[in-house]
Every structure is written in C-alpha cells, then in structure tokens.
Amino acid sequence: MSQVPAELRYLKSHEWARLENDGTITIGISDHAQQSLGDLVFVEAPEAGRRVRAGESCAVVESVKAASDVYSPVSGEVVAGNADLGGQPELINSDPYGAGWIMRIRPDDKTQFAAMMDAKAYEAALAAETH
C-alpha cells in the first residue's frame, strides 16, 4: 500500500501540496504516483520566477515506463524548483514527500490550496481508481 500523509493536500492527478510557514506551497507527486511510474529517470522542474496557473502543467517526470505531467494546484509564482532532481531523479522514488519535492510556489490566494482534497478524500479516490 502506498503512503498518504495526513497533513498534506492532494489532487486527483496525484500531486501533493504542503502549506509552509512562509505561505509558500511545496508540491510533489504522491507515493502512489511514483510507484505507478516506476524508476524515475528525468525530471524537468520549473525555474524560479515563472508564473503558473492552477491546473497548468509545469513540470514533467519521466520514468523507465512513461512520461507524466505535473500540474500546479494553485496559481502563483514559482519560488524554487528542486535542483537536486536533475542529477538524482530517483529521490522521487525513495522520498516522494521529502527530498523528492518538485517545486515551491507562492500562491496568489489561499483558497485554491484549501479546496484541494485532504488525505481521506485522496485515499478514497485511490481506492476507487484501483477497483
């Protein structure tokens, strides 16, 4: 079974998001997503300063098996992409909720984050997907 940390928010497309103390939002892909993709081999994370809209594809994760878009759950400005993923894409496999984070965004407003699924809702979505 894949891990779904209770303190995070989720999208149906398997991104997770965490509201940081400074008001920024860290985004990555869920444990379920990395398991489905298999070994990651390339990650294209966005550069700081880029404006993104909620629902926009702003990163690409590519595994031995498939390439997948990563969607931003919020509109705002990218404050950082995870540069470590360039040389170590496997961080997403080994630590999807920690060292494998993909980007950090300063949201234009907080309601989009609040509208994301909580862990329970995401677990239910995963259960529905696999049955």
Partner 1 sequence: MGLRTPLYDSHAAAGARMVDFGGWDMPVNYGSQIEEHRAVRRDAGMFDVSHMCVVDLRGPRVREFLRRLLANDVAKLAERGKALYSCMLREHGGVIDDLIVYFMNDEWFRMVVNAGTREKDLEWIRDQAGGFQVSVEPRFDLAMIAVQGPNARQKAATVLDPAIAAPALELGVFFGLAEGHWFVGRTGYTGEDGFEIMLPTQDAPQFWQRLKDAGIALCGLGARDTLRLEAGMNLYGNDMDETTSPLVSGLGWTIAWDPQDRDFIGRAALAAQKAAGVPHKLVGLVVEDRAVLRSHQKVLVAGVGEGEVTSGTFSPTLERSIGLARVPQQTADSCEVEIRGRLLPARVVRPPFVRNGKATIVL
Cβ 25 to partner 1, closest distance in Å?
26
Which CB atom, from 19 or from 60, has the smaller least distance to partner 1? 60
Work out the number of other CB atoms within 10 angstroms of the CB of residue 62.
Answer: 15
Which CB atom, from 18 or from 50, has the smaller least distance to partner 1? 50
Residues 10, 117: contact at Cβ < 8 Å? yes
Chain contacts with partner 1 (rule: CB under 8 A): 35, 38-39, 41-42, 44, 60, 62, 64-67, 93
Cβ 31 to partner 1, closest distance in Å?
13
- Largest Cα–Cα distance of the chain, in whole Å? 41
Which CB atom, from 59 or from 116, has the smaller least distance to partner 1? 59
Work out the number of other CB atoms within 10 angstroms of the CB of residue 23.
Answer: 9
Cβ 107 to partner 1, closest distance in Å?
27
Backbone angles phi, psi at 128, to 5 degrees: -65, -35
Which CB atom, from 7 or from 39, has the smaller least distance to partner 1? 39
Cβ 27 to partner 1, closest distance in Å?
20
Backbone angles phi, psi at 100, to 5 degrees: -95, 15
Work out the number of other CB atoms within 10 angstroms of the CB of residue 129.
Answer: 11
